Amino acid sequence: MDLDDILALAETTPSPLELARARRVARTVQSQHDLSLAEGYKIIVDTDLADPLTWDADEAVRVTRAAQLAKQGTVTWLPGDHDSERFERLSWSDEMAMIVGHAPGTLRLTPRTLADLVHPADVERVLAAVRTAWEQSRPDEIGFRVVQPGGSVRHVYCHLEILTDAGRPVGVIATGEDITALELARQEQRRLAVRSRMLGPDPAVRDVLTGLQTRGYVIDEVDRGRRTTGGALIVVATEPATRLPDALTDEDRDQVTAEIARTLRAVVGDGVTSGLVGSGSWGLLLAPRDDAGKAEALAARIVDKFRNHLFSVRQKPLRLNTSAGVVHFDNDIPDTGFDLLVDGEHAARDAHRNATAVKVLERPVAERERTDRCRRRIHRAVSANRFALYAQPIIDLGLNQVARHEILLRVRSDTGEPVAPWAFLDMAERVGEILAVDKWVIDHALELIGRGTQTSHYQVNISGKSLADPGLLAFVTGAIHRHHVKPECLTFEITETALIENRNEALAFATGIREVGCHLALDDFGTGYGALAQLKYLPVDLVKIDGAFIVDLCRSPADQAVVSALVELCHTLGIRVAAEYVQDQETLDLLRAAEVDFAQGYQIGRPEPITVSQEEVQSIELELRLPPQQTAMG
Amino acid sequence: MTDIKGTAALTPDPDDNDALREAEAARLKAVHDREFAEFTEGSYHTVERILRARCRDRQAVEDALHEAFLHGRVEWSKLRDHVRPIGWIVRTARFKMLKDHDRRLREAAVAPEDLPPSSHSDIADAWEAQETLRGWLHQLPVRHAEVFQMSKEGFSNQEIARVLGLTENSVRSYKAAAKKELCELAEKAGFTRSESERRQGAGRGSR
């Protein structure tokens, strides 16, 4: 079956349905007509009654008249003929004059004035279209903009047609109308289509690894709970019962985490707000408040399940020490979601310490007590050196070789297991103790760097909050001199998970640290508090685009747009650009194509315990042996 | 019934005269009524098909048609002398739709930019064929669709040019372009006649 068959099939005598419709219309029309006669009013017919099929005007007149009826304007061009007495004629209808913003009859029309009415960017296209239509004797259509005398721009759409006389082309007639409103509607439609294509899911909702909600999401939900219904927060702390072998990679650890998440999901189902809220720390929210002991029962069930479940890592069985804390809370309490989470974690720790399965708090802990406990934890961690430093390679995409390392912090759990520090750092920032941690990192990182060959370039993190401390610059320069570090080998990354507290101090630190010879970078750019204004007033040398824009780069045109625009912006401002969380070769290629300067991620290299030189691998034990007076408690 | 003052006395029976005239008018009206009913039944589907080739909005087409036919009835005494009164009806209904600017805007704003080729299924009857064809026509430039549909309904190039207010050169061009575009759309939807089918004489169900 092809088009001709379909056409043949479609071409039929009217169907019974069509005939019925016709009869109905005939009847209604007839009765309306009769009614008007009977009641003596006239139905006004505004169309001229000439038979269109016999109306014998020339083509230009007919087309113009038709355009008029459709409220469109026309321009007629008759080039004339040298052999006969006809001359070039250019004319337009009143409607067309009004479309381009002139009162009818006020403008003497020449090809020149006509071209001047068209938007300068469109003139060439319009002229070419007219010329081609005339030369090939073929109709065409074209959309363009006109500039009205006041300077306002309108969108016009024109049909170009060839006028013939006795079969010979004699001119061109353009029928046009103002389609500005339509054009705007179309543009809006296109914009909306692009917008919905570009709009990604909220990355804060689900964690890729665990399939559960993220820490930020859980905290927000708990916060919502304490403002509305009240409820109970369960925090389950899990910890390997035996120390994991050092050879374990991050991937193995991730697999354990994913397995725990699966087990947790199997116990509680998907309906409960739950997520990984810290390393080995799982939060679940039960709302509204319910005193029937549901939360306690669920916590006990989870602990029981985890304690009896045999997890595995690298085909070896693994048992988890598990305990849980439950915090009940009413609505309208002053404690935030974060506060409640901290209480839950503390309760879980207490349970572990007391060798019980679950510890229950009937209400949140007093603010003062909570903060003190957090501070004590941080101080104890700092003074006991319960940290380890790792280094992750960064590749220079221009040279295609590892040119830098970022110094990363790992916090030791109670068993001495180094774990990712994000929850710990978040807590330290929130209770205002991040400075002590930052100083520890700076001092120890610079010491390790100073002992090495200093062939690489090192990037060290400082929280935006710490910059408020007036003594920080002196501390850093002191450490640089003390450990004989080449300042040009150092970049300080300002992480902006918290707001830069004191703009003036931050600026003073930034300026001062660059005078020493170090570089300055903005970390996690684009998701935290880092505003574009900072690129203007902070003397930044490097911007690290947040991983949220990189992980899905290959599949997300929105991420690609953000990255390429950021690169262009930064390069214009004299700032280099780095991308983190690079997980595959395809992303790496895209970043290189986008002229990103540096890349970092599992594809390039995972964080490794710091190596001082090629031969000597700094072991965790060595760091543990550091004497306490070298710590940076200030 | 005005100018009878002076002559009324002379006329033997003015009432008779009036009655005669009224009877004549009634007879004429009955003739026109019948003519118009016949005309409507014979032409409605044609006009409807032509207008629906240009406009997606079926209700708008029916409204415009209703008005055009009503006006046609009012002026039937003149229209009945046209070569083909249907030309006037098409023209009138079409301009009614063209003037309804707001509706056109709405339609353009919600019209899908790229319609996927209508899914291929066997076309078994005239109605399916018309619907498929209409779906394709709506993807064509409006003028092409209109000209094509009119020529399908048996109008000559000159007639089309005059009813639609186009030049004859354009009509020829639009018609050819429409045919070409329709062929492409049909092929895209899988309606092609492969050689093997031609030999077997299988008329449909191709892909």
The partner residue sitting opposite A70, judged by closest CB among B72, B99, B169, is B99
The partner residue sitting opposite B165, judged by closest CB among A2, A62, A71, is A62
CA dist A106 and A103 (Å) reads 6
b/e map of A218-253 (b: 16 or more CB within 10 Å)? bbbbbbebbeeebbbbbbbbbbbeeebeeeeeeeeb
What DSSP character marks residue A270? T
Q: Please choose, from the candidates B102, B4, B93, B21, the residue with its C-alpha nearest in 3D space to the C-alpha of residue B52.
A: B93
Structural domain spans, chain B: 13-111, 114-207
Range of lowest pLDDT (A93-97, A102-106, A512-516):
A102-106
**Percent above pLDDT 70 for chain A:** 93
Vertex B132 angle, CA B126 and B135, to 5°: 140
Task: Provide the residue type at A256 as one letter.
Answer: V
- Is A162–B167 a contact, with Cβ atoms under 8 angstroms apart? yes
Quote the tokens at residue B75: 């002026």
* Termini Cα distance of chain A: 87
The CA-atom distances, in angstroms, between A239 and each of A242, A324, A421, A591, B47 are: 9, 12, 15, 38, 80
DSSP reduced 3-state for A395? strand
- Among A49-58, A182-191, A602-611, top mean pLDDT goes to A182-191
Distance of CA A26 to the CA centre of its chain: 60
| Number of Cα atoms under 13 Å in the Cβ half of residue A463 | 27
Please give, rounded to a whole number of angstroms, the shortest distance from the CA of A52 to a CA of chain B.
6
Q: Tell me, yes or no, if B130 comes closer than 8 A to chain A by beta carbon.
A: yes
The partner residue sitting opposite A51, judged by closest CB among B88, B129, B182, is B88
pLDDT of residue A423: 86
What residue of A is the nearest CA neighbor of B192?
Answer: A2
Q: Please choose, from the candidates A53, A69, A161, the residue with its C-alpha nearest in 3D space to the C-alpha of residue B167.
A: A161
Report domain B114-207's class.
Answer: mainly alpha
Please check the confidence at residue A109 and state whether its pLDDT lies above 50.
yes
Give chain A positions within 8 Å (CB) of B108: 182, 185-186
Range of lowest pLDDT (A282-296, A384-398, A572-586):
A282-296
Please check the confidence at residue A613 and state whether its pLDDT lies above 60.
no
Query: Using CB atoms and an 8 Å cut-off, which of residues 2-21 of chain B contact chain A?
Result: none
Average pLDDT, chain A: 86
Range of lowest pLDDT (A35-49, A223-237, A377-391):
A35-49
Cβ-based contacts under 8 A for chains A and B: 193
Query: What one-character-per-residue DSSP string does A107-142 give?
Result: S---HHHHHHHB-TTTHHHHHHHHHHHHHHT--EEE
pLDDT of residue A633: 35
The CA-atom distances, in angstroms, between B164 and each of A45, A354, B96 are: 19, 92, 13
Give chain A positions within 8 Å (CB) of B191: 1-3, 5-6
- Is A30–B159 a contact, with Cβ atoms under 8 angstroms apart? no
Q: Residue A476: pLDDT band by 50, 70, 90 thresholds?
A: very high
Q: Are A516 and A539 in contact (CB under 8 A)?
A: no
The partner residue sitting opposite A22, judged by closest CB among B44, B174, B183, is B44
pLDDT of residue A269: 82
- Is B70–A173 a contact, with Cβ atoms under 8 angstroms apart? no
Average pLDDT, chain B: 80
Structural domain spans, chain A: 59-184, 215-365, 384-627
pLDDT in tens, B77-90: 888 888 889 999 99
CATH of span A215-365: 3.30.70.270
Pairing of strands A542-545, A576-579: parallel
Quote the tokens at residue A346: 């503390």
Q: Helix %, strand %, coil % for chain B, to 5?
A: 70, 0, 30
Region A616-621: what's the mean pLDDT?
35
- Where are any strands of DSSP class E within A435-541? 457-463, 490-495, 519-525
Quote the tokens at residue A4: 């001709």
Q: Residue A479: pLDDT band by 50, 70, 90 thresholds?
A: very high
pLDDT of residue A233: 93
Q: Read off φ and ψ for residue B149, nearest 5 degrees.
A: -65, -40
ipTM: 0.80
Q: Residue A205: pLDDT band by 50, 70, 90 thresholds?
A: low
DSSP reduced 3-state for A309? coil
pLDDT of residue A82: 62
- Is A22–B127 a contact, with Cβ atoms under 8 angstroms apart? no
Please give, rounded to a whole number of angstroms, the shortest distance from the CA of B88 to a CA of chain A.
6
pLDDT of residue A611: 56
Q: Tell me, yes or no, if B64 comes closer than 8 A to chain A by beta carbon.
A: no
- Where are any strands of DSSP class E within A267-396? 273-278, 281-286, 311-313, 316-318, 320-329, 358-361, 387-396
The CA-atom distances, in angstroms, between A455 and each of A398, B53, B185 are: 18, 75, 65
Q: Are A441 and A431 in contact (CB under 8 A)?
A: no
pLDDT of residue B156: 93
- Is A62–B162 a contact, with Cβ atoms under 8 angstroms apart? yes
* Termini Cα distance of chain B: 73
Say if residue A288 is preceded by a cis peptide, omega within 30 of 0: yes
Please give, rounded to a whole number of angstroms, the shortest distance from the CA of A499 to a CA of chain B.
44
| Number of Cα atoms under 13 Å in the Cβ half of residue B29 | 13
- Is B169–A164 a contact, with Cβ atoms under 8 angstroms apart? yes
pLDDT of residue B195: 46
- Is B70–A33 a contact, with Cβ atoms under 8 angstroms apart? yes
Distance of CA A6 to the CA centre of its chain: 49
Q: Are A110 and A128 in contact (CB under 8 A)?
A: no
Q: Are A606 and A250 in contact (CB under 8 A)?
A: yes
Region A163-192: what's the mean pLDDT?
89
Q: Please choose, from the candidates B40, B28, B88, B45, the residue with its C-alpha nearest in 3D space to the C-alpha of residue A28.
A: B40
What DSSP character marks residue A628? G
Q: Tell me, yes or no, if B139 comes closer than 8 A to chain A by beta carbon.
A: no
Q: Residue A40: pLDDT band by 50, 70, 90 thresholds?
A: confident
Best mutation target among B29, B70, B122, B184 (most A Cβ atoms within 10 Å) is B70
pLDDT in tens, B48-60: 999 998 888 888 8
The partner residue sitting opposite A70, judged by closest CB among B81, B98, B113, is B98
Q: Read off φ and ψ for residue B45, nearest 5 degrees.
A: -65, -35
Q: Please choose, from the candidates A216, A198, A327, A188, the residue with its C-alpha nearest in 3D space to the C-alpha of residue A276.
A: A216
Q: Please choose, from the candidates A174, A182, A200, A185, the residue with its C-alpha nearest in 3D space to the C-alpha of residue A75.
A: A174
Range of lowest pLDDT (A83-92, A292-301, A436-445, A596-605):
A83-92
Range of lowest pLDDT (A283-292, B17-26, B59-68, B195-204):
B195-204
Q: Are B45 and B86 in contact (CB under 8 A)?
A: no
Q: Tell me, yes or no, if B180 comes closer than 8 A to chain A by beta carbon.
A: no
CATH superfamily membership of A59-184? PAS domain (3.30.450.20)
pLDDT in tens, B119-166: 556 777 778 888 888 888 988 998 999 999 999 999 999 999 999 999
Q: Residue A408: pLDDT band by 50, 70, 90 thresholds?
A: very high
Angle between helices B101-110 and B85-99 (to 10 degrees): 70
pLDDT in tens, A306-327: 998 888 888 888 888 899 999 9
Give chain A positions within 8 Å (CB) of B152: 7, 10-11
- Is B104–A182 a contact, with Cβ atoms under 8 angstroms apart? yes
Quote the tokens at residue A368: 């003062």
Which residues have CB under 8 Å from A313's CB, separation 6+?
Answer: A244, A248, A252, A255, A256
The CA-atom distances, in angstroms, between B86 and each of A52, A291, A467, B17, B136 are: 10, 82, 84, 37, 25
- Is A25–B69 a contact, with Cβ atoms under 8 angstroms apart? yes
pLDDT of residue A57: 79
Q: Residue A204: pLDDT band by 50, 70, 90 thresholds?
A: low
pLDDT of residue B1: 45
The CA-atom distances, in angstroms, between A409 and each of A353, A438, A610, B50 are: 26, 10, 10, 75
**Percent above pLDDT 90 for chain B:** 38
Partnered with residue A276 across adjacent β-strands are A282
pLDDT of residue A452: 84
Q: Residue B31: pLDDT band by 50, 70, 90 thresholds?
A: very high
Pairing of strands A320-329, A358-361: parallel
Please check the confidence at residue A197 and state whether its pLDDT lies above 50.
yes
- Is B91–A193 a contact, with Cβ atoms under 8 angstroms apart? no
pLDDT of residue A340: 92
pLDDT of residue A159: 94
Please give, rounded to a whole number of angstroms, the shortest distance from the CA of A124 to a CA of chain B.
23
Look up tokens 């747009």; give the residue.
A561
CA dist A518 and A512 (Å) reads 9
Tell which wins on pLDDT, A621 or B184: B184
Q: Are A578 and A543 in contact (CB under 8 A)?
A: yes
pLDDT in tens, A1-12: 778 888 888 877
What is the CATH architecture of A384-627?
Alpha-Beta Barrel (3.20)
The partner residue sitting opposite B129, judged by closest CB among A10, A52, A67, is A10
Please check the confidence at residue B17 and state whether its pLDDT lies above 70.
yes
Range of lowest pLDDT (A79-88, A541-550, B154-163):
A79-88
CA dist A609 and A390 (Å) reads 4
Q: Residue A85: pLDDT band by 50, 70, 90 thresholds?
A: low
